[in-house]
Every structure is written in C-alpha cells, then in structure tokens.
A and B are shown apart, each in its own frame.
Chain A
C-alpha cells in the first residue's frame, strides 16, 4: 500500500506550503524526492499515481516530470547507488579508471545492480564537484577525490552498514 506515514505527510504539507494557494503542482519535484525516498528508492507507477492524487493533478503531469529529470529512478535500484561523474573535468582527472574499477569489483556494468540488490552503478553527468574529481554521489552525499583504495573502503562501509541493519 502506497501511503505516506504521518511524519512523511507532515513533510509533504510543509513542501506544499511553500507555494501560493492553488499552485500546489509547484511542489511536484520536491514531493517526488520525498516519495522516492519513502517508497524504496524508485518511483513505481503506483507511487506516481499516488503523488498525482495528493497534488490533485493528472497522472501524466507526474509521469512527464519523472521521466525528464535524471534523479528519479523509474526502476528499482540497489540499496547503495554509486553515481559516478563522467563529464570532461572528471574525465581528465581519471574517472574512467574509477568507473572500470567499481564495475570490476562489483561485477556489474554501468546501469546494472548487483544480484544481492546492494549496489547500483550509474554514470552521470557533471555534479558540480569538478575540483574534487574523480567523484560520485552516494545518496545525499558526495564522495570526492576517489582512488581505488577509497572505493574499496566505501564498498566495505556499505557492506558493513547493510549487515548491521539486517
């Protein structure tokens, strides 16, 4: 059942309150972030329909936005998503090696998720961390100045966290 908890509903109402009366559609992008975080890290069509009903807009208005912006996941992703930047400044700082290394270490290609559902590797375009390249986004944070050793320790950290939460 797709439904915000009371706490999530409070956040939903806070987000909608930022915009003028009758302009609640403006809250769509922030609300989709909230929905994605609340319902398993991706936006199913049920989730999108639910958001449409909450904001009193047509489902298509949600679909067209969800498919336009790169941060919304339209299929399930791993518990930890490594979004590695591959644009110019990161490329000249060696991101290709890092992407290869993560792929080999986890046994997946960009766009794929590990069989245990823990990791997704995704290549993304410039994240605004060019001076701290190579880098990747992991959830709400950036991991910068990546090296193979640093990648190893991040993967270990994720595995430990996942084990501790099980």
Chain B
C-alpha cells in the first residue's frame, strides 16, 4: 500500500460533515497554522514541501505564493481553481464531493498565509450538486468558528464563496478564470501583469488547484520536510490520479509517485489491468492535452528503464519519447481503439473550447478537426497528415494562453507515434470503416541502443 495523506479518510462514514471530519483529526492543521505559525512560516513550509501545482503545470506552489504583491490598503484574494475540465480528469470532483472539509481547511490555512479575507472557489458549472456540498461545508465551518470573523480568536477574518462557472474549458486557465469571476467571457489575459500583481478586480491574486490547496493540510500537519520525503526527487508528496478508459477499475487513486506506470495499470491496488482481457495499446497519462504514448514507450523509457508515475518519469525523453504527468487524467486505450478517431474527438473538443481570441487557435483547431474527421471517415488524403503536422506546429507557442499548445500536442503526438495508423486509414478507406488498425507493433519491445 502506498502512502495516503489526502484520501486516507475518504471512506470514513459521514466524513463529508464537519463533526465527523473534526473527530477524525480535521482542522487541527488549521489550528496549528493560525495559532502557532506566522504567515511567512506557512509559506516557508509549503516551499520546503516541494509541492507543485496539481492542476497540470506543476509550478512550485510555495514560489507562486511568494510572488503575491502586498501593496498597502489593497485587498488580496486566493481563488481555488475547481474548474476541472481537462478530459480524463475527475480527481478534484472526488475530493470536493467526499472530503469538502479537507478543501475548506486547506483554503483557510492558505487564505491566512496569503492574507485573503474573501476567498473564492471557482467551480465548473456542471458540478452543480457539488456547489451545494461545498456551501453546506462552508456553513458548518462558519458555525463552528473556522470561518467568518475572528477565527479561533486570532483576529483573522475569512469568508469563502463558491462561484459557479457555466461550461467553458478555457476558464481553467487562471487569467480566463479571473475574467469569468468578474462576470465576463473567459478570454485569457496577456501576461504580464501576472495575477499575483493584478488579478481579480486588479487586486493581487493567487489561483491554485483544488488538490494543491488540499495538500496544504498534510504539509502543515506533518511539516514541509516530512512531506518532501514522500515521493522521489522533485516529485514530492502524493498525487491524485483519475484513471479511465479500458481498464478494470476506473476511479481516483492516490499514489506516492514512486510506483511504475506498469504497476499502476496492472496492479489490483490501482487500475487492475486492461478490461475484458484485452491488450494495452496506448495511453494519455496526464489529461487529454499531454502527448499520447504507445504501450511500449509508456511502460519503458527510451533507455529501456521502467517508466515511473511522476513528473520526471512521465516526461522522460521529452515529447520525442515521453509525455507529462499533467493533471493526472490517465486515459487508457486498449487494442480495439482507433487512434485517429480518438484524436478526432479531442480535436473537436479543443475547437469547441477555443475562446476565439487568437487566430492560430481559433482557425487551426477547426481545420484540424475537419481534416481528422475526413481521415476518420475514410475521406482523407496522404497529404492531410503532413498538413495536420504543419497546422499544429503553427498553433503551438503562438497563442496568448496554453490552450493552443493543449490542442496541438495531442495531434502532434498521435502523428509522431501512430503515423502508420493514419496512413492505413488513408490507403484503406473502406476497410478502415469496418475494422480498427489494432494493436499493430505498438506494444513491441523498443530498440534500445547499448553504449
């Protein structure tokens, strides 16, 4: 069994409610932080923990906090990013649904550290029932003196509000989220100025993912140094992985980032192997925007070593032979899945979600969708594959926000690793409508050059 510090109490009956959460040791970290620690000491512990943003980018959370401007007389805000919309990702939902007080406690400690008296949870509009769960938890915390005025007699005031979005992937990008929180379209802002200087209502703002803020609780409880001992290298602590696709046990798992991808997929403690006795063909290991990998490169790095389930392990080899841990949305494809069709649905997703501000993304995502649909339905040309490659390269890096990159990477990786499957579709338009290309050579041992 791996270390569990976030979901360890998830199965305790009634843990959703304050009394049970408190009985199980909840809010002790908040008491410690508010009564015994200075705000600088909390930031220091988070820095020492090595906690990296769990939303996808992996930026060190303590460093992000230390950037916040503190101009005299200007309120600061902490905003929790609960817009979880990256296909394959449903971990924050689980955390909020079953452990709302863990998030509230993390928000309280973090709000105190950052000096935020009005903290917002920006939640995706579709998670409507979770809004009720969170608002109930907030009321309970308030009734028990953990939110509101003069919390625990420390003189610190803090309120938490839930702000419901309305269906827009782009609002997971922090500046789009801020625009949306201000009641506008979710158009990302040009940076600088960064939110830490001018965020919501032009005030200094820190935006952190749900899981990141929840992780602050065990960090304060055990101390940053102890937290950093879990995991390996710069992948400290635990990570929630939401696993889906063709596996026996889809769901949300907490891993300590020392296990291998192979163990995660095949062990009964986690995914329990590929469903229906099928074979593994490919996997998108960190949410739909990270590069898809064929089975052989997923399980082993280009050097032939077992690939580990952590930031460094999954990105080993760069985009040439690796991928990214991203948001932890782990999508598994078995031998019956069609890479062209899968890539087409993702391209459609990004076209749908592009905010339309930057032409490379607004136009390019639409072109990629159309071309992929043509190939998928047996109407593709060989030159379409190179055209796709060309378009994605012209989107990547040429947009205000990372949605452009997120749209480009899945197409690039699919062509990079599965080009023969695309060619087969073009050369066999009729057959490709009747059967899938199959596993082909994608699980074959990779050639490893010996020095």
Interface residues of A (CB under 8 A from B): 18, 20, 23, 25-30, 32-33, 55, 57, 61, 64-65, 68-72, 86-89, 91-93, 124-133, 137, 140-141
Contact = CB atoms under 8 A, between A and B. Distances in A.
B167 A69 contact: yes
Nearest to B410: A88
Contacts of B337: 92
Given A87-B349, A88-B349, A131 B242 contact: yes
B125 A71 contact: yes
A128 B127 contact: yes
Given A91-B341, A137-B126, 18 more contacts: A20-B75, A20-B118, A23-B201, A26-B182, A32-B166, A33-B166, A68-B355, A69-B186, A71-B166, A87-B345, A88-B346, A91-B345, A92-B245, A125-B353, A128-B89, A130-B250, A130-B331, A140-B128
Contacts of B75: 20
Most buried by B among A64, A128, A137, A140: A128
A64 B185 CA distance: 7
B346 A87 contact: yes
13 contacts: A18-B163, A28-B184, A61-B184, A71-B166, A88-B331, A92-B331, A93-B245, A125-B87, A125-B352, A126-B85, A131-B244, A131-B251, A133-B244
B327 to A, nearest CB: 11
Contact of A86 (B84, B201, B345): B345
B185 A65 contact: yes
B93 interface: yes
Given A25-B182, A29-B180, A127 B126 contact: yes
A128 B129 contact: no
Given A128-B84, A130-B90, A130-B242, A69 B165 contact: yes
B88 A130 contact: yes
A125 B329 CA distance: 16
Contact of A141 (B129, B161, B244, B288): B129
Contact of B163 (A30, A64, A127): A30
Q: Which 5 A-B pairs have the closest CB atoms?
A: A28-B183, A69-B166, A70-B167, A131-B250, A71-B167
A33 to B, nearest CB: 6
A92 B252 contact: no
Interface in B320-343: 329, 331, 333, 337, 341-342
A89 B183 contact: no
Interface string B80-109: 000011111110010000000000000000
Nearest to B351: A125
B137 to A, nearest CB: 16
B124 interface: yes
Interface of B: 75, 84-90, 93, 118, 120, 124-129, 161, 163-169, 180-186, 201, 242-246, 250-252, 284, 288, 329, 331, 333, 337, 341-342, 345-346, 348-349, 352-353, 355
Contacts of B288: 87-89, 126
Contacts, number: 147
A46 to B, nearest CB: 19
B183 A91 contact: no
Given A88-B342, A125-B349, A130 B166 contact: no
A89 B167 contact: no
A151 to B, nearest CB: 19
Contact of A132 (B182, B246, B250, B348): B250
A52 to B, nearest CB: 11
A88 B180 CA distance: 26
A61 B129 CA distance: 27
A68 B185 contact: yes
A50 B22 CA distance: 44
A96 B349 CA distance: 15
Nearest to B171: A69
A29 B183 contact: yes
Nearest to B129: A140
Contacts of B169: 125-126
